[in-house]
Structure 1
Amino acid sequence: MEWNDQLEAYNKNTGIFYTIANDNSNLYLTIKATDQNIIRKIVLGGITFTINTMGGNKNGAAISFPAYYGTDPLFFITTNNRPESDVTKNKIQMDSMNARNKQLKDRFKKIGVRGIQTIKDCLYSPNSNLFESIL
């Protein structure tokens, strides 16, 4: 799906822009955070999307990303999100951000699943056959 950087909603309590969409077989959630503190919270603690067809705030099906084993969330972002005005420093900073993005991509390997009757509450790899079969 194409979002063209136009997300439909903003949650002022969390500081996150988001859009929810669906097609015949999938439900999509796209989020965008621009505040460095909010991004840090998402990286460290993940974000959970809960669907509760009965109303209320508890006992819904939930997908969390990223999800971690043990001490993985101790990985911490320490980069400045503003580019340097000096061209050389900016190049070094961009190289550092690209390296950090690769590290984040390498760490974001698990999705938490909870409350789906046909699936055991657990962490799953996004490319596992089990996970693909439920989505």
Structure 2
Amino acid sequence: MQFKNIVAPLVAFLCYSGINNSLYAQNSDISSGVKAPLTVKVDGKITEWGNLPAYNKATTVRYTLANDANNLYLVLNCTDNQNINKLLAGGLTFTINKDGKKKEKDAVQIQYPLQGKNGGGFRGMRFGGRGTNINVDTAALVNSRKQMVAAAKEISVIGIKQITDTLISIYNTDGIKTGINFDSKGNLFYELAVPLKLLELSAGNATELAYNLKLNGMQFGGNRERGEGRPGGNGGGNFGGNISISGGGAFGDTMLELMSPTDFWGKYKLAKP
């Protein structure tokens, strides 16, 4: 395999290795209602939110849930390159169970970003090597991440009665808004707004919800239940979508981690406006 044939944005996305920022002590959950700022613009810049009050160790995200009279908001920040790559490659799924049960059954699920079938931006590319170590400048890293977000034009929606299509445009008229942005170091900022009326909820009732955040990781063609598209460890593996990884070592371990979903459950009680 000749790495000169690999496009720079893809190399930056897969192989950049950075040092995580130090994490200050935070809560592990958002249990009580948080009132959203008076002026919210869902653009991924999150400046109006200040310091995010919760931190989850499994996904390495700082985050908050909040609401006003009209919307439920999810806001998060991630500085861990591996988990940023995982989120961009397979999207983040936000699950909301309005009955307060930590179960996906009968829950609303919203996934964004979506990178398309068979690996999205990785489609048609092949990689090989053992313990691959490629230095990528930060500007290339940020640019590659912005390109992936720019290519994601759809949101997956499941469990909302008023929305019959499972895929909707990011420019939808249903009121679901998303925003992803990056700072100069490539750190990720994420915002999502979901109208309470679509969830059949009212902020005035102070309902307690159960929620789940999942970083899905890379998802390629094939059925993993039947053993198709599995990573290959030291022996290599075929991921579908004309993508294969040969060898093992650090590069193989990185790919295996990127394909492994990471998630957590929590509870949130709507704040009265």
TM-score by length of 2: 0.39
Name the CA distance, whole Å, in 2 between partners of 1:12 and 1:75.
Answer: 28
Match of 1:120 in 2: 164
CA contact (8 A) 2:115 2:148 kept: no
**Matched positions, count:** 120
Partner of 1:100: helix, strand, or coil?
helix
Per the TM alignment, residue 98 of structure 1 is displaced from its structure 2 partner at its CA by 4.3
Match of 1:27 in 2: 72
**1:96 corresponds to 2:140:** yes
Which structure is larger by alpha-carbon Rg, 1 or 2?
2
Question: Which of 116, 122, 129 is residue 75 of structure 1 equivalent to?
Answer: 122
- Higher fraction of helix: 1
Name the CA distance, whole Å, in 1 between partners of 2:119 and 2:173.
Answer: 24
Match of 2:108 in 1: 61
User: Structure 2 vs 1, CA of residues 65 and 129 (structure 1 numbering), >3 Å: closer, same or farther?
Assistant: same
Per the TM alignment, residue 14 of structure 1 is displaced from its structure 2 partner at its CA by 1.8
CA contact (8 A) 1:125 1:131 kept: no
Deviations 1:8-29 (A, max 9, x none): 1111222211111111111110
Q: Which amino acid aligns with 2:162?
A: T
Name the CA distance, whole Å, in 2 between partners of 1:104 and 1:56.
Answer: 31
Structure 2: gaps (5+ residues): 1-39, 41-47, 124-134, 178-193, 196-273
User: Structure 2 vs 1, CA of residues 56 and 94 (structure 1 numbering), >3 Å: closer, same or farther?
Assistant: closer
- Report the aligned-residue RMSD: 2.6
Identify which of structures 1 and 2 has the higher relative contact order when contacts are C-alpha pairs closer than 8 Å and 6+ apart.
2
Identity %: 35
Name the CA distance, whole Å, in 1 between partners of 2:138 and 2:102.
Answer: 44
Q: Which amino acid aligns with 2:148?
A: L
